[in-house]
Every structure is written in C-alpha cells, then in structure tokens.
Amino acid sequence: MASIDLGEDPLALDRQVCFALSVASRGVIAIYRPLLEPMGLTHPQYLVMLALWERTPRSVKDLGETLCAEAATLSPLLKRLEAIGYLTRERSRSDERLLTVDLTETGRALREQAEKIPYRVVEKLGMEVAELENLHAALTRVIAATRNS
C-alpha cells in the first residue's frame, strides 16, 4: 500500500474529506430546497420521485436498494408522498410481503416541472457542467470504495 502524505497535521479540519463532503452536501441540498418547495417536496422525497420517474412500479425493497436507504427511512417519506397524492402504495397480489409503490397521474405530471431543477442547480452553483460531471464521477468512486470497505 502506498504511503499517504497528509501534510504537517493529519487532523487539520480543512484537510478532511469527511468535512468537505459534509459541508458540500449541506450546501447543495440548500440550493435544492427553494426549487423543490413549490412542488411540496423535501430533498429526500425528491430522490424518491427521481427513482420512480426512472421506473415504476417498484417495490419498497427495490427503492431502498436504489436509494441506499433502509425501509424504516423510506416508510415516512412514502407515506407523506402518498398523502400529497404523488404515489400509491399497495401490497403485491402475488406476494403479500412486498409493498409496491407506483406514481399517480399527479406524480407523473410533476416530472415536467422537475425537469427544470438540474439546470437551475448548475446555474446556482456557477460551475461548468464538465466540472460537475468530474465531481460526480469522483463521488461515484468514493461511494463504491465505501461499499467495498
């Protein structure tokens, strides 16, 4: 294994990957907040909707795997999205243990409004798309590395 030089102080806060990821995550999510508000969505709910816009219907288990979230975390999000009329939840007829999630017409129609969000986020970040694509690729590698450790 190659030695890693962390400079003079390996515990300097501004050198910590965890700190940079945490602050960046909070900052980016804060950019989403006012963009999602007119749709009545929180950021975690938006992630659920993104997954459902990709493919529906889906089981709660499949959603959890896709979003890297536990069923206990998803359950309140799904209940709220159902309460505002964006999705339905029902037990699978073939397997009572499976809870299936599907979009309503209102939930499907919301996609058109949501399509503007990525462009607004890029605009608010003031970064080049290529920079963000490189960042996404690096973060995808970080996610894969954390899953393998």
**Around 108, how many Cα atoms within 13 Å sit in the side-chain half-sphere?**
9
Query: Residue 87: its pLDDT value, please?
Result: 98
Q: Are 114 and 39 spatial neighbours (Cβ–Cβ below 8 Å)?
A: yes
Q: 117-131: per-residue pLDDT in tens?
A: 999 999 999 999 999
Parallel, antiparallel, or unpaired: how do β-strands 58-59 and 87-91 relate?
A: unpaired
4 pLDDT more than 80: no
| CATH entry 3.30.43.10 includes domain 40-111 | no
Q: pLDDT band at residue 3, thresholds of 50, 70 and 90?
A: low
- Domains in the chain: boundaries: 40-111
Letter for the amino acid at 25? S
Q: Would you say residue 18 has pLDDT above 80?
A: yes
pLDDT at 78 (0 to 100): 97
User: In this predicted structure, what is the pLDDT of residue 48?
Assistant: 98
What order do you get walking across the sheet with 87-91 strand by strand? Answer: 58-59, 99-103, 87-91
Tens digits of per-residue pLDDT, 96-106? Answer: 788 999 999 99
For the stretch 82-93, pLDDT in tens is 999 999 999 877
The answer, yes or no, to whether residue 27 has pLDDT greater than 60, is yes
Concatenated DSSP letters of 80-145: HHHHTTSEEEEE-SS-TTPEEEEE-HHHHHHHHHHTTHHHHHHHHHT--HHHHHHHHHHHHHHHHH
- Per-residue pLDDT band for 2 (boundaries 50, 70, 90) equals low
